Chains A and B, each alone.
Chain A
């Protein structure tokens, strides 16, 4: 079974509107972390936001917020007030456990296109 599932291969949004990128995960480890990264066409991976499994509140970072629904095992990324520069590939990722050897597992990604 896939550990990280991103069901939206592509999403379109108009500038200044909000958009939600879906992510569901699968783990039996009670300790895990969920991450969102942005990858523009240049290829660099840009860290956006992090949510720990024990965090009580949803994480927020500027225009990014993470809608964490633990019982449903979902960690959707919400981008408010989209900008043209938000057009990129977005990856959801999970790290299980807290050891130094824990690795990130990535979803297949969602391509977001922001139109004027």
Chain B
């Protein structure tokens, strides 16, 4: 199957700093990428849908200015958590759509101290 990578796989940062997470589709071009957040023992919650060359569409309740999404190319989308706080600590998963399937990255575990 198609491969989606994420970097970094885990990150620990101080409160108030910004963290950038990269999501790449390695062997296919993805016009649409998705960002999810997953708290412990909970399901995946969609944060935003990102299309190459256009602004991301955010789900209700997700702060656009806090979670900046850039989809610069057909193979790269980035999520920047600005001024991160402990409540932003979570597992962030990106996903890329290819035909009818949706492939997921391995996730990034963010811990904000």
Min CB gap B6→A, angstroms: 10
Indicate if the CB atoms of A104 and B46 lie closer than 8 Å: yes
How many residues of chain B have a CB within 8 Å of chain A?
Answer: 24
Count of A-B contacts with CB under 8 A? 51
Please tell me the number of chain A residues within 8 Å of chain B, measured between CB atoms.
Answer: 21
Knowing A43-B91, A47-B1, say if A103 contacts B49 (CB, 8 Å): yes
A42 touching B49 by the CB < 8 A rule? Answer: no
Beyond A100-B31, A101-B32, A103-B49, whether A108 also contacts B43 by CB under 8 A is yes
Task: Report if B8 contacts A (CB, 8 A).
Answer: no
Interface status of B83 (Cβ within 8 A of chain A): no
- Which single member of A42, A52, A107, A109 contacts B106 (CB below 8 Å)? A42
B106 surroundings in chain A (CB, below 8 A): 42-44
Residues in chain B within 8 A of chain A (CB atoms): 1, 31-32, 34, 38, 42-44, 46, 49, 51, 57, 91, 93, 95, 97, 100-104, 106-107, 109
Given A33-B100, A100-B51: 17 more A-B contacts, CB < 8 Å: A37-B104, A43-B91, A43-B93, A44-B107, A45-B44, A45-B104, A91-B43, A95-B102, A100-B31, A101-B51, A101-B57, A104-B46, A104-B102, A106-B43, A106-B44, A108-B43, A109-B43
